[in-house]
Amino acid sequence: MSSQSFKVYLFAVLSMLFWGLSFVWFKIVVKWYDPLTIIFLRLIISGTLLLGFMLFTRSWQTIKREHLKYFFLLSFTQPFCYFLGESFGLTMVSSTVASVIIATIPLFSPFAAYFIVREKVTTHIVIGIVFSFIGILFMLLNPDFSLNAAPKGVLLLFIAVFAAVAYSVVIRKISHEYSPVTVITFQNLIGALYFLPLFLIFDFKHFITVKPTRELIFAMLQLSVFASTLAYVFYIIAIKGLGMIKANIFTNLIPVFTGIFSFFILNEKFTALKIIGMILVMFGVLFSQSQRIGRLVVSSKQNKSNKIK
C-alpha cells in the first residue's frame, strides 16, 4: 500500500474516531447547555478557527457564483438537518445507541450513490454492509433482547442519517473544486446562520444564565475543534480518495469508538452483545475494503519490483 493510500485510510479512521467521541463530549456539554446552543457554539467556534487559519495561511478561496447553491444546500443537509436530528435524538437515547443508528448511513448511501452519481456497488461492499448491519443490531439489543432505544429518539437520529446521505451526494459536486478547509469553513458559517434565529428564540435566555466550568469549556472545544472541524476535513479527503460508498462504510466504526469511550468516560454498560456487535462491525468494514486493499498491495509490490529492475 502506497503512503498516499495509507494516509487516505488513516484520515477516514480518524474522522470516525472524532465523530465517535463527539457523542461522549455531547453528553458532557448537554448537562449545561441545550442542544441548539451546543450546535450553534460548535459551528461558530469551528467556523471562526478555520476562517482565521485560511487568512493566516493565505489559502482563501473565493466561492464561484454558480456553486453558492451547492454550499447553501450542503449546509442545510449538514450541519442544519443532521445536527437537529442527532442532537435532539441524543437527549433521548444513550450515546452508544445514537452512534449505532448514525452508523447505518452506509446502508442507505449505496442506493443514493448508484441512482444519483452512478457509483458502482460491488459484492464485497454489500457483504460488508450486511455484516455491519448485523453487528449494529446486536449493539442495539439489551441482554434480554429488548430494544435499547426510545422510538422518538430513533426517528430523530434517522433524520440525521438521511441528511448525512444527502450531504455525501452534494459534497461530490464541489469537493474537487475547493479545498476541504474551504468547504468546512463556509459549511459551518452558513450553518451557524441557519441556527442563529433558533438559538435567539429558544435558547439565548438560558445560555446567558450558565456559568461555564472547566469541564464544559474543554468538552465544548473538543466538539468544535475535533468533531466539527478536523473530522469533516479528514472525511472530505477520504471521499476524494475512496469514493462516497467506501468512505461512508467507515461510519460503522463510529459506534465501536463511542462504545469504548462511553464505557470508560460515561460508565455505560458494556454487554456481551455489544462486544459481539463491535466485532461484526469491524469485520464488515474490513471485508468491504478487502478488494481495494488487495489491489493496492499488489500494485505497491509491482511498483517496487519495477524499481528494482
3-class state of residue 147 by DSSP: strand
Query: Which of 177, 227, 193, 195 minimizes the C-alpha distance to 70?
Result: 177
What is the distance between the alpha carbons of residues 235 and 241, in angstroms, rounded to a whole number? Answer: 10
Q: How far apart are the first and last CA of the chain?
A: 19
Amino acid (one-letter) located at 143: P
What is the distance between the alpha carbons of residues 245 and 225, in angstroms, rounded to a whole number? Answer: 26
| pLDDT of 307 | 57
**In this structure, what are the phi and psi dihedrals at residue 141, rounded to the nearest 5 degrees?**
-95, 145
Residue by residue, DSSP assigns 77-89 as IIIIIHHHHHHHH
- Cell digits of residue 265: 468516560
- Cell digits of residue 155: 426517528
| pLDDT of 67 | 93
Say if residues 281 and 256 touch (Cβ distance below 8 Å). Answer: yes
Cell 466539527 sits on residue: 228
Whole-angstrom Cα Rg for the chain: 20
Q: Give, as one character, the DSSP assignment of residue 141.
A: B
Say if residues 22 and 232 touch (Cβ distance below 8 Å). Answer: no
What is the distance between the alpha carbons of residues 124 and 291, in angstroms, rounded to a whole number? Answer: 7
| pLDDT of 292 | 60
What is the distance between the alpha carbons of residues 43 and 193, in angstroms, rounded to a whole number? Answer: 9
* CB neighbour class for 241 (10 Å; exposed up to 12, middle 13-18, buried from 19): middle
Q: How many CB atoms lie within 10 A of CB 103?
A: 30
Rounded to 5°, the CA angle 191-197-203 comes to 105
| pLDDT of 154 | 87
State which residues of the chain have pLDDT below 50: none
Q: How many CB atoms lie within 10 A of CB 55?
A: 10
Say if residues 163 and 109 touch (Cβ distance below 8 Å). Answer: no
Cell 485510510 sits on residue: 9
| pLDDT of 298 | 55
Return the domain boundaries, the chain: 3-308
Say if residues 223 and 88 touch (Cβ distance below 8 Å). Answer: no
